[in-house]
Chains A and B, each alone.
Chain A
Amino acid sequence: MKDKSASMEQAAENAVAKTGENPAENAMDGAEDGSMLSRDEILARAQRENQNGDERQRSQMQWANYAGFIAMEFACIVIMFTQIFTGNEFTPEFFCIMFTGVAAQNIVQACVNKNRKTRTLFIVCAALITAGAVAYWVFWILGLCGIQL
């Protein structure tokens, strides 16, 4: 932590040396002037932006979607295992649903994750699971067309 703060201080000093201006002082100058937008403009824009739900409602919706996704995946797994243990006919549709959901999750993570190590992991997982999902979709569609592999 000390190294990190020391490097940050060094970076700030370098910035001052290069530009001859202290960004921190400039930031304070800006703060004295207040915002670039007037109070009324800020409030008017905030009201317009939040017309379809505010950030807390969007956050709640994200949690609901996440819970729904987990529940759906859980249901697919339970049904698949039930079919396996009871000896009933196995339906690949559940694998299609599960793999597609997890593939989409991993693709989004691979796109938005900026951490180099975990991003590589998500890219690998996304590629493998997407391949699995595509394979199951192909298997299922061919099955519907009456083509047995």
Chain B
Amino acid sequence: MDDKLILHNRLKEIRAEKGLSQGELAGMVGVSRNTITSIETGKYCPTAKLALILCAALDKKFEEIFYF
């Protein structure tokens, strides 16, 4: 049984709500578009620092974007 603790996110929905493209969000945060794609698809788990920068960029609390 896979009992790994995986940090999921609602980045894609929230980004769509705000009307931002992946490239625009990437530009705001200063990361590559691939990084945003990887976070959205769950291929890459951001560090706390990047997660909080994303929260600042999207004007959301951490728990509104990220969850277990």
Contact = CB atoms under 8 A, between A and B. Distances in A.
Interface residues of A, number: 14
Nearest to B58: A39
Contact of A46 (B32, B34, B53): B53
B46 A55 contact: yes
A51 B53 CA distance: 15
Interface string B18-43: 00000000011111101100100000
Interface centre among B30, B34, B35 (most CB of A within 10 A): B30
Contacts of B29: 43, 46-47, 50
Interface in B46-66: 46-47, 49-50, 53, 56-57, 59
Main secondary structure of the interface of B (DSSP, over half): helix
Contacts of B47: 55
A47 B59 CA distance: 17
Given A43-B53, A57-B35, A51 B30 contact: yes
Interface residues of B, number: 18
B44 A43 contact: no
Interface of A: 35, 39, 42-43, 46-51, 54-57
Q: Give me the 9 closest cross-chain CB pairs, A-B, nearest first.
A: A47-B30, A54-B31, A50-B30, A56-B35, A42-B56, A46-B30, A46-B53, A39-B56, A54-B35
Interface of B: 27-32, 34-35, 38, 44, 46-47, 49-50, 53, 56-57, 59
Given A43-B30, A50-B30, A54-B30, 7 more contacts: A42-B56, A47-B27, A48-B30, A55-B31, A55-B46, A55-B50, A56-B38
